Amino acid sequence: MKKRNSITKNLTPYLLLLLVLAVVLYVFRVANIKKHDITYIEFVKYLEKEEVESLEITPKSSESVYYLKGKLEKYKDNEEFDLIVPFTDSVVEDILTESNNQQIDLKINKEPSNLWLNLIFNFLPIVIILGSIVYLTRAMMGNGKGGTLDFGRSRAKLNQEGGKVTFKDVAGLNEEKEEVKELIDFLKNPKKFQKLGARIPKGVLLVGPPGTGKTLLAKAVAGEAKVPFYYISGSDFVELFVGVGASRVRDMFKQAKQTAPCLIFIDEIDAVGRQRGTGLGGGHDEREQTLNQLLTEMDGFGANEGIIIIAATNRPDVLDPALLRPGRFDRQVTVNLPDVREREAILNVHAKGKVLSEEVKLNHIAQRTPGYSGADLENLLNEAALLAVRRNKEEITMEEMDEASDRVLMGPAKVSRKVTPYEKKVVAYHESGHAVLGIELPNGEEVHKITIIPRGMAGGYTQMLPKEERTLIMTKDELLQRITSYLGGRVSEELFIGEISTGASDDFKRATSIARSMVTEYGMSDLGPVQFEHKSGEVFLGRDYTNTTKNYSDTVALEIDKEVRKIINECYENAKKILVKNKELVEILAKTLEEKETLTKEEIEDIVKNYKNDNKKTKTKKEEE
């Protein structure tokens, strides 16, 4: 019913506009008709000469006359004559007789029964036009309810009860929940804090990578507090006209004061909160005015008691310092990527309503998905469900989960792409080189899957995951072994194919990036514990111009290049020694890959186990001999 009323309300202005246009066209047409006044004698002469083409007779008994209107043959389309004749039966009879003899297009109207009808017909078009203009103007101005021209009104949407999302719907984020629980306690019982003189933070900034649950956490705070909840995107403040954004900020806080205590959630606040006075082309007046108004409303001369602002962004480096000072956004809550326990909890939340097979173990999937955000995990389960439906299965099996993981990570498989036997062989040896180094390096990553089926831009890939998930630090030895592992594909091509290909370009990119960071940022080279470069936060000039800040001379730049090359070369030689030593294992993996195209962790472990057992037997025989 509400939807139907909304459609009717939206169509009403357009229907009225069409009616106005129809009336205007009618009036314009009537006004363009050229009228000729003729006498009764002239009319009789025209009638006798058979020059009358059409005739309309309207009696008017109150005036004792007949009104005659018609066209002559010589008239144009927009011409007609008007005539008034005495109210006598003989006159009308003569006219009717002549018109019947000549077969004139004759129309006789009934006498109007009421004077008011004439007034209505004469003044109704004018009333409709004026009324429609007034209605359309009020509709465009919004009539206080946010119309087309009502630019200054806030676009924030209000949810009176805070929403249905609670902390139960937010898996993981235990520390983050504790940080924002104080806000809920304050909104429910402010006297508890005021008694000890405590001041609750006016603003909380949620910072973290995309998809980690910042918006979901804000919804949960509102749902737990059961208070009015305003939510708006940062881009909703910005308009073409300067000053509109500032007006919307004022109106938003005005509405919030009327419903305090309440929450205001601003998503993607970096759209209006960027640092002022930056950029090659100067500042943006509209955005800066909006930011200035937001700063004033949060902590200016006026008090905003009972209003707590929660904002979210994944770009805290570009925000204006005035926005982050105490008194405005007092507290920053970092929402990081989930660890293995949090990933399992997130998977359990999103698995509700999905029919999973008994073989699907969510804790195993959580271990295989380091670096996935909450949104990625939700997408993983959804892709698996779609694949199961596409394959006409009644439940989601581990096969769909594996395929969904690959689709999320690398894209859909290019099954129809034609791959030559030579390309297949090169890719098989390339991926086998990565896998063997992952197996043999003591601090290397664990090999979970190898495939030579093309996905996205890759001809194949080796999925390697850390043996222990760590997010804080990495040692020099671990970094060196990671570089060695990246170089394994090129080394394998060189040793076993006798040719090198373009397939290692992305591996080189990653290896070089780690090696350069070791030299310029981490102090892990012969140049000593000095930081020569650091990632720059000044992104206003463009990433290509100021990607890093350099604090060294050209002479030191040469030394840095030498150290980077030294690290890469040493890792390359180390990779070559390991692959030469395990030549048979590389060939076994490569040939198996050419046959099966995909190897799972269990299959790889079986191949490695059989290879080591055969080596032991060979050594034993040699020793006996």
Catalytic residues: 431
Q: How far apart are CA 480 and CA 522, in angstroms?
A: 13
Strands 157-159 vs 105-108: parallel, antiparallel or unpaired: unpaired
Q: CA 401, CA 327: separation in Å to the nearest integer? A: 47
Q: Which amino acid is at 375?
A: A
Run of H or E including 267: strand 262-267
263: DSSP letter = E
3-state class (DSSP) for residue 204:
strand
Could you give the CA distance from residue 553 to residue 435 in angstroms, rounded to a whole number?
40
Task: List Cβ neighbours of 53 (8 Å cut-off, separation of 6 or more).
Answer: 70, 71, 72, 73, 75, 104, 105
Cβ atoms within 10 Å of 385's Cβ, excluding its own:
20
- First-to-last C-alpha distance (Å) of the chain: 93
512 token code pair = 């070089």
Query: What 8-state DSSP symbol labels residue 417?
Result: S
Alpha carbon 24 to chain centroid, angstroms:
45
Cα–Cα nearest to 331, from 346, 348, 311: 311
Q: Nearest Cα to 395, choosing from 364, 354, 367, 445?
A: 354
Q: Please tell me the number of Cα atoms within 13 Å of 390 on its side-chain side.
A: 9
Q: Which residue pairs from 147-155 have beta carbons closer than 8 angstroms and sit at least 24 positions apart in sequence?
A: 151/239, 151/241, 151/244, 151/247, 151/248, 152/244, 152/247, 152/248, 152/250, 152/251, 153/248, 153/251, 154/232, 154/248, 154/249, 154/251, 154/252, 154/255, 155/232, 155/236, 155/237, 155/248
For residue 513, which phi and psi values (nearest 5 degrees)?
A: -65, -45
Task: Report which of 93, 83, 39 is spatially closest to residue 60, judged by C-alpha positions.
Answer: 83
